Amino acid sequence: MRWIDAHRDGAGVDVNAPAGSADVVALEHQLGVPLPADLRFVLTRFNGGVIPSGELLPAAVGPGSIEAELRSLADAFETDFLDPELLLPFHRTTEGSLLCFDRSAGPVSDTWPVVDFYEETHEVRIVYRTFDGWCRNCISEWNAPDFEEEFSLDKYLRQGKRHVDIEPDISTAHATVAHALRRAGRPEAAMGAYLRAARCVPPLPWCDWEALKLAVLLGRPNEAIEAAQRLSARAPSDRWRVRETTPGRVADVIARLVAARADNKAWARILDALVEQATDEEDHAQAHAVRRALLHDEPTPAPRHFREASILELHPDPQLQWDQARQAYIDGTLRDDDMLLDPSLSALFRDHAPRELLEIRRDF
């Protein structure tokens, strides 16, 4: 609030007059619960308005208000406006998403975390542990020397690191750092950031999948086991959907790393869990075949490529093939999944390690 007061006449700040106590009380009456104390305090200083990160929603009646956005959310989730666990919106970001309090996280309003809601996909993810964390992150960004610079990979990485410094237990902060490091050609550091994201509570469910793929491509069995143990934890099908993989595909990736070693109890437990959870017949058969290869010295099954055809054209000249792979990786068409699961690329990696691709910097 001090920062906004000091920049009221500057670009990107146009806040409203304070909300009257009657407006705030009326909103709380409609919600059936008190507003978080910090939000209530902000509204009594300025009742919404434009700030550099987007638009604070006012306690008012009509389009663009907290009440109006709450009714839109009720329609989107096909629930009642008075549902006590419905997200409570308070800010629309410059990217168009809504920042909301997650009222389902607890009965006390001052403990509600802040989530990002994307109206097109209905994706909800926790982005700040507290309203105070969001405020501190805003100030960190607005005061940063690069705030008015054009968006770039380096700026994206710095933004993620600033968020990690403020809220080190938020998965999305570490995932942002991981994405940036991944594109910056620093795969080990990216793998570590994905693992830290996956250790947070709650985690982004797909971070272990990203960490596992990098660990296998880099030949890092300890990190692969950590990611695979969480990734293979028993979960309903909806959970596997947000993990962005399947038990059979996880088994296929693991097969790249483990040989037939009957004494490897950790991998055996992981594969047992994957076999049990594979509901698709083909997925189950693949996970079971990988398990047999590990425990009974049987041949490792060929991986199942998720594409109908290879992303690369085959060239008799190895150098031309490698040049094509490098360009496809830079363009984003050749992905980790291809390197791990496309059997036609095995010849490519006889003379080159996957690391040579992973260490290529890919700017936005």
pLDDT in tens, 284-320: 999 999 998 888 878 888 888 878 888 888 888 889 9
**How many Cβ atoms sit within 10 Å of the Cβ of residue 44?**
15
Q: What would the two tokens of residue 321 be?
A: 């093939």
Mean pLDDT of all residues belonging to the chain: 92
Higher-pLDDT residue of 297, 170: 170
Where does the chain hold its CATH 3.40.1580.10 domain(s)? 2-131
Q: What would the two tokens of residue 215 be?
A: 């660990």
Check: pTM over 0.75? Answer yes or no.
yes
Q: For the segment 32-78, what is each residue's pLDDT rounded down to a tens digit? A: 888 999 999 999 999 999 999 999 999 988 889 999 999 999 999 99
User: What does DSSP say about strands 98-101 and 88-93: parallel, antiparallel, or unpaired?
Assistant: antiparallel
CB crowding 115-124: b at 16 or more within 10 Å, else e? bbbeeeeeeb
**Between helices 207-218 and 221-231, what is the axis angle to 10°?**
150
- Fold (CATH) for 2-131: SMI1/KNR4-like (3.40.1580)
Classify 166 as helix, strand or coil: helix
User: What does DSSP say about strands 54-56 and 49-51: parallel, antiparallel, or unpaired?
Assistant: antiparallel
